[in-house]
A and B are shown apart, each in its own frame.
Chain A
Amino acid sequence: MSSIAIIDYGMGNLHSIAKALEHVAGKDRVRVSSARETILAADRVVFPGVGAIRDCMSELQRTGLDQVVMEVARSKPLLGVCLGMQALLDSSAENEGTPCLGIIPGCVQHFKEGISQAGTAGRLKIPHMGWNQVQQQDKHPLWQDIPDGSRFYFVHSYYAAPAADTDVAATTPYGIEFTSVIAHDNVFAVQFHPEKSQHAGLGLLSNFVNWNGVS
């Protein structure tokens, strides 16, 4: 039976994502782990995270799990969630500029700068919090049975800006059209929280646990 590892590197609460994966995959297939061997032995890996990017990167480096994420990104289906998505890019503007893992070319920006660059009128609350629409850009196995434009639950102030348009799997409107989902070979990364997005979120997680990593 194929297994799913959730990387535990001390950034935030993994209870919700573990419960949601257990709900769609069965309890005995899900492992929350900080052990390199366990993570690399799993068939699929979830890379979660909440909080600040500088703490995230320093914890990854301290535990050596940064190398494990890079290894997984080369070899098996990887799902990045929230901060786990942002950490995949080259760098983030958060915490006065923070180098990230560089798995996906591009950077992470704050909404304030993004919106002022775009010159969008109107006042928007930051963090971007709540249920917003996810506009699928292309066919992908992880979108199976999820209607285009479905709402997912977001809470974040920074967003990923991948360099290559081909890496954009979905966008979401919030002052600008930002990249809410990245797809790059065997890597799929979402800014929203599928574990908190009711039917649409559970559907996406279910698609992930059945995904062979080919888009």
Chain B
Amino acid sequence: MGLAKRIIPCLDVDAGRVVKGVQFVDIRDAGNPVEIARRYDEQGADEITFLDITASSDQRDTMVHVVEQVAGEVFIPLTVGGGIREVANIRRMLNAGADKVGINTAAVNNPDFVREAAERFGSQCIVVSIDARQASTADAAPRWEIFTHGGRKPTGIDAVEWAQRMVEYGAGELLLTSMDRDGTRDGFDLALTSTISDAVDVPVIASGGVGTLDHLVDGVIEGRADAVLAASIFHFGEFTVGEAKQHMAAAGIEVRL
């Protein structure tokens, strides 16, 4: 017995509404973020992650209000990613009630931002989000490259090297998304997940591709992830977080029930 593997529902929020895209493009409306966060908390979510995908900066205030409302009634860790580019953005989200922030594009553009953020606020609240895509051919040793801008922009940076560098700079946790799998419902990229998880000391959250409850089990057992993140299987009522935990427990994984 000991530390539980975490299940983290993820809410993609666009201008105050929860949406979920398939490979970041086709977007379906899934509802009010505050109501959904409350529901996941009641179902036993271990944390909740909000990803602000709002394109225009004038609507970013909406996310702050969402976090404030959720933090006033949901007492589990809350992470906010998307649009975190400077120290002021982090302070604003933490003051609104977020416990951690996810940094992605800004880390690639300026890796020292991660160092500065970790020194200022502590590594415990700095999650570096890594969007990776397989870059190797089928017969070569597997290799992944990181992408920014919601998976659209390649960087040429090797995912394993990047993960290790971000931990060295002070990331307290990595949120690893397979852009090849995101939205496909084919399951996590397990080779990517286990490779990154083995390469760093900090916890790794697996993300991208969950379509069944077995995928969550695979992410922990084969992917060696410390936490699993999923969106659409929960949003459209296919499974509750509680059902996901029961399924993981039945597979011998330690969870908080």
Interface on A for B, CB 8 Å cutoff? 12-13, 15-16, 19-20, 23, 50-52, 125-133, 151, 153-156, 172-174, 193, 195-198, 201-202
Contacts and interface: CB of A to CB of B under 8 A. Distances in A.
Contacts of B94: 13, 15
A20 B226 contact: no
29 contacts: A13-B94, A13-B99, A13-B121, A13-B125, A15-B95, A15-B97, A16-B71, A16-B75, A19-B72, A19-B97, A23-B72, A23-B75, A125-B202, A125-B203, A125-B226, A126-B202, A127-B202, A129-B124, A130-B3, A130-B4, A130-B6, A130-B203, A130-B226, A130-B227, A131-B46, A154-B3, A174-B3, A193-B77, A197-B75
Closest 6 CB pairs of A and B: A51-B122, A131-B256, A13-B94, A173-B2, A131-B4, A155-B124
A156 B4 CA distance: 15
Contact of B122 (A12, A129, A195): A12
Interface string B1-41: 11111100000000000000000000000000000000001
A118 B85 CA distance: 42
Contacts of A202: 75
Interface string B61-98: 00000000001110111000000000000000011110
A5 to B, nearest CB: 20
Contacts of A126: 201-202
A196 B99 contact: yes
Nearest to B2: A173
Contacts of B97: 15-16, 19
A129 B77 CA distance: 11
Contacts of A51: 121-122
Interface in B161-205: 172-173, 201-203
Contacts of B173: 129
Interface residues of B, number: 32
A3 B173 CA distance: 36
A120 B197 CA distance: 20
Contacts of A13: 94-95, 99, 121, 125
Contacts, number: 92
B76 A129 contact: no
Contacts of B46: 130-131
Nearest to B45: A198
B72 A155 contact: no
Interface of B is mostly: loop
B240 interface: no
B123 interface: yes
A153 B47 CA distance: 10
Contacts of A198: 41, 75-76
Contact of A131 (B6, B99, B125): B6
Listed residue (B1, B3, B201, B227) with the most chain A CB atoms within 10 angstroms of its CB: B3
A174 B254 CA distance: 13
B2 A132 contact: yes
Nearest to A129: B203
Nearest to B5: A130
Contacts of B122: 12, 50-52
A176 B75 CA distance: 28
B65 to A, nearest CB: 14
A12 B3 contact: no
A211 B1 CA distance: 31
Listed residue (A50, A127, A129, A193) with the most chain B CB atoms within 10 angstroms of its CB: A129
A127 B201 CA distance: 8
A168 to B, nearest CB: 18
Contacts of B76: 153, 196-198
Contacts of B125: 13, 50
Given A12-B121, A16-B99, A155-B124, 5 more contacts: A13-B99, A16-B97, A130-B3, A130-B5, A132-B3
B75 A132 contact: no
A202 B75 CA distance: 8
A12 B99 CA distance: 10
Listed residue (A130, A195, A196) with the most chain B CB atoms within 10 angstroms of its CB: A130
B240 to A, nearest CB: 16
Contacts of A172: 2
A132 B4 contact: yes
Contacts of A153: 76-77
A83 to B, nearest CB: 9
